[in-house]
């Protein structure tokens, strides 16, 4: 496995430019692989990158998603200050917005392990460990990606706290996870989140579960530590 992954915190940044940046990073990794296969030595900056950011209000629909899971038309989207993109990750419709930490690992899995299932499980494990630091027990649900909280006394349903949707091309990853920290959860009312129309499943956030707003930088620091542990790497700014 590579010992170093470049880390970038982009702050609050629009979705379209971040998607373009992901694509650029992906292209660089694919080009690096081509050069290595042609016998050239590996040179230049650290090729793998782990991006954290927040987005203005935006809905993204994965390649297997259904457009009718977006419950707003174009003018209604504008009225709530949100944009909408169809993209090439797996999964259905989801929401990104301020107070949510979005993570984009752009990794050549041939330098880690050639196992997509393991990669998704490792992203989930990062998040399970992060929320455990705050006293929450995250679980996986059969048939669903992401991290959930089990029903409890005053919360009778499963609640998704982190959504995951990825895409791979030539073993290089795109997209990633969306972790609800201080997220405005009412924006999920405008979609059928992840295409799951089930009264026994809902969306939640760290702040809703804990009853107070979190320091985003503190949560990001914890997330970085757990990413380094699970992916056996060092994040370099």
- Point out which residues pair with 215 in neighbouring strands: none
Q: What does the block give as tokens for 228?
A: 């380094």
For residue 105, the SS3 value is strand
Q: What pLDDT was estimated at residue 157?
A: 94
Q: Which residues are catalytic?
A: 194
pTM metric for this prediction: 0.93
Percent of residues, the chain, with pLDDT higher than 70: 97
Specify whether the CB–CB gap between 214 and 183 falls below 8 A: no
Q: What pLDDT was estimated at residue 134?
A: 97
Q: Where are the domains of the chain?
A: 4-121+166-197+225-236
Q: Which CATH number fits domain 4-121+166-197+225-236: 3.40.50.300, 3.50.50.60, 3.30.930.10, 3.40.1360.10?
A: 3.30.930.10
Percent of residues, the chain, with pLDDT higher than 90: 73
Specify whether the CB–CB gap between 59 and 77 falls below 8 A: yes
Q: What pLDDT was estimated at residue 43?
A: 64
Mean pLDDT of 152-178: 92
- The tens digit of pLDDT for each residue in 139-153 reads 999 989 999 999 987
Q: Where are the alpha helices (DSSP H) in the chain?
A: 15-37, 74-79, 116-133, 206-210, 216-230
Highest mean pLDDT among 26-35, 122-131, 199-208: 122-131
Lowest mean pLDDT among 9-18, 39-48, 59-68: 39-48
- The tens digit of pLDDT for each residue in 81-131 reads 999 998 888 778 999 999 999 999 999 999 999 999 999 999 999 999 999
Specify whether the CB–CB gap between 139 and 129 falls below 8 A: no
Mean pLDDT of 220-237: 97
Is residue 163 over pLDDT 70? Answer: yes
More confident residue, 146 or 64: 146
Is residue 45 over pLDDT 80? Answer: no
């Amino acid at each position: 496995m590579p010992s170093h992954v470049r880390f970038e915190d982009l702050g609050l940044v629009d979705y379209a430019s971040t998607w373009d940046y992901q694509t650029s990073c992906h292209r660089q990794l694919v080009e690096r692989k081509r050069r290595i296969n042609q016998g050239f030595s590996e040179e230049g900056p650290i090729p793998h990158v782990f991006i954290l950011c927040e987005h203005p209000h935006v809905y993204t629909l994965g390649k297997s998603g259904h457009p009718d899971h977006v419950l707003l038309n174009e003018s209604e989207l504008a009225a709530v200050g949100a944009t909408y993109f169809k993209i090439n990750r797996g999964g259905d419709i989801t929401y990104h917005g301020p107070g949510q930490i979005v993570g984009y690992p752009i990794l050549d899995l041939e330098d880690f392990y050639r196992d997509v299932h393991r990669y998704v499980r490792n992203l989930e494990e990062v998040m399970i460990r992060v929320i455990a630091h705050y006293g929450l027990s995250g679980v996986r649900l059969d048939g669903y990606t992401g991290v959930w909280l089990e029903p409890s006394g005053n919360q009778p349903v499963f609640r998704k706290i982190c959504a995951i949707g990825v895409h791979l091309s030539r073993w290089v990853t795109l997209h990633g996870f969306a972790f609800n920290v201080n997220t405005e959860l009412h924006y999920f009312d405008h979609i059928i989140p992840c295409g799951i129309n089930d009264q026994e499943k809902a969306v939640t956030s760290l702040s809703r579960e804990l009853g107070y707003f979190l320091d985003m930088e503190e949560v990001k620091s914890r997330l970085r530590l757990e990413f380094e542990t699970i992916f056996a790497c060092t994040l370099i700014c």
